[in-house]
Amino acid sequence: MQENFSEEQKRILSSFVSNTDKNIFVLKNLPEVVMGALFSRYSRSPKPLRQLLLDEFISDEKTGFNEIVSFQSEKGITQAVAIKKAEEFYDRVLLGFGDDSVAELGGAHLAVENVSNISVKLIQDARLGISPLEKSTRYIYFDEKDSKGNFNYLRPEEIIQSSFADEYIQLCDSLFSTYSKFLPEMKKFIEEKHPKEEGISDRAYNSTVKAKACDVLRVFLPASTLTNTGLYGNGRAFEYMISRLSSYPLKETKAIAESMHVELSTYIPSFVKRAFGEYGNPSIEFLSETRKKTAENSAEFLGKEKISEAEEVELTEFDVNAEEKVLTAILYSNSHLPLHQIKEKIKELKTEEKKKIIDSYYNLRKNRRHKPGRAFENTYYTFDILGNYGIFRDLHRHRILTQERQLLSTHHGFVVPIEFDSLGIKKEYTELMQDAKNLFEKIEEKNPWTAQYLVPFGFKIRWYMKLNLRQAFHFCELRSTMQGHPDYRRIAQKMFSEIKRVHPSLTEHLKFVDTKSYALERLEAEKAQDKKIKEVEEKYGK
């Protein structure tokens, strides 16, 4: 959605955003509750954040926006003066002590718009100090064009200024055109296969069909597809993010880092001042050179190896002493004995005694939100995953574990949604994927990093996940719920199956993993949403 604000709208917005004409800006003068609600709505709206703020918060009398924020103007001090005074205090009192953790006490909401899916994943690689929320491929159609009649994908300078420019634009246009062409056909196909049943509202049914159609067709979208992400983070995390983004061999991430630094410097300048300069530049060089040397070594030692066949999910490593470690940790916190003594005692226990201890630790769970204790953090599992890029994007958001991915490529083939056979579009899809593969291989020879931009979501990427049993409970139970995308539900189900195979005694009460399959995954969730809407209307009126 294109933003064209009137001068009056710009004047109103300027009180709440750091600029009204750039892709990256800071929210200001808004209570935390408003910013939280705004970012939550942001992930499921096609509107840019400023337009959303104007249309659904500021201009909507029902939100009570004016009453909520009116106290800001009554404080007798402007945001700019407050920031200046805070920076002076920081410089005079705190900075001299070199306490970096102070920067974790100040935070900001940052909107990052019109960035590629390659860069947004690099942004969201931050695991600590940053909370991201992203525009969804499930609830939003990606068939709109900008004011110039162009589809919304990045035209990276590295490719546009090369001999591959015309082929790149032709491929991306074809991918978006095909996605757009098949949207109404896919919705019609789903409606005919799964007619609306009695008792289901039009809103719930239509939302479910839309989500299903988007889920299936997202395989066409290239990684250059532009998206929006909302970030809330502390100053220390933002400072490191800026340095890290500056270290990648992509002009897009470097430009994003510079824009982030400019905008955050208007709001939390003291906390991001070292992203560049005396401290930041050496860090950028370290990250960049380390990445380059590692790539050279990989090419030297692995470059001639052929890619072997692999399963979608492979458990490559697990702890053979898992039960002993978990039992020791369970008893430790309720004892005054040293670890080594408890370990020796565990060896003397009978099987039924061990089971009693483990069961009592987590068998009272009534739902998946009842988290098992930290004793389960003592045993780890490493999975090698080979899934399409859409799956990776969904599962990438889990941060309390270690994930490391390879560069996105066409080397592992692509998935073909089963609906494409019935709809008769498999041939056209396969031909487009082959076109993408051909162009990718030509660009990869010159620059494997920029070649990623043209790879459609349907192609597979390899990454590993290392997580402890406690996180495995959360991951497998959450990502297998019926409303989830069928692709990542399958990954979670397979991971659960592998953990259960090697450690049955520790997974007996991992009982909220849903191993079933469903035709319309979102339907029950949408029916629950209808109930919530009704409750809110009864409480506050329509």
Contacts of 285 (CB under 8 A, 6+ apart): 247
What distance in Å separates the CA atoms of residue 357 and residue 392, rounded to the nearest whole number?
A: 37
Residue 93 pLDDT grade (very low, low, confident, very high; cuts 50, 70, 90):
very low
- Average pLDDT, integer, range 35-52: 82
180 — pLDDT class (breaks 50, 70, 90): very high
pLDDT grade for 76, boundaries at 50, 70 and 90:
very low
**Whether the predicted pLDDT of 269 surpasses 90:** no
Rg, Å, the chain Cα set: 26
Cα distance between residue 115 and residue 453, in whole Å: 11
Residue 63 has pLDDT above 90, yes or no: no
- How many other C-beta atoms are found inside a 10 Å radius of the C-beta of residue 426? 15
72-78 average pLDDT score = 50
Please, is 108 exposed, middle or buried when counting C-beta atoms within 10 Å of its C-beta (0-12, 13-18, 19+)?
buried
Count of beta carbons in the 10 Å neighbourhood of residue 462: 19
Binning pLDDT at 50, 70 and 90, where does residue 2 land?
Answer: low
Report the alpha-carbon distance of residue 504 to residue 170 in Å, rounded: 52
**CA-to-CA distance for 182 and 184, rounded, in angstroms?**
6
- The class level of CATH for 316-404+462-527 reads alpha beta
Mean pLDDT throughout 105-125? 93
Domain with CATH 3.30.1360 in the chain: 7-137+226-280, 316-404+462-527
Average pLDDT (222-237) is 95
Stated pTM of the model: 0.87
Whether 92 has a pLDDT exceeding 70, the answer reads no
Residue 236 has pLDDT above 80, yes or no: yes
Q: Give me the mean pLDDT over the 198-205 stretch.
A: 93
Which segments of 161-305 are extended strands (E)?
Answer: 226-234
26-40, 124-138, 489-503: the lowest-pLDDT one:
26-40
What average pLDDT is seen over the chain?
90
Judged by average pLDDT, the poorest of 55-64, 163-172, 275-284, 415-424 is: 55-64
**7-137+226-280: CATH class:** alpha beta
* Confidence tier at 68 by pLDDT (50, 70, 90): low
The fraction of the chain above a pLDDT of 70, given in percent, is 91
Mean pLDDT computed over 511-520: 91
pLDDT of residue 301: 95
* DSSP strands (E only) in 106-255: 107-116, 130-134, 226-234
Cα 326 vs. chain centroid, distance in angstroms? 31
Distance (Å, whole) CA 463 – CA 396? 10
pLDDT band at residue 78 under the 50/70/90 scheme: low
Predicted confidence (pLDDT) per residue in 131-149, tens digit: 999 999 999 999 999 989 9
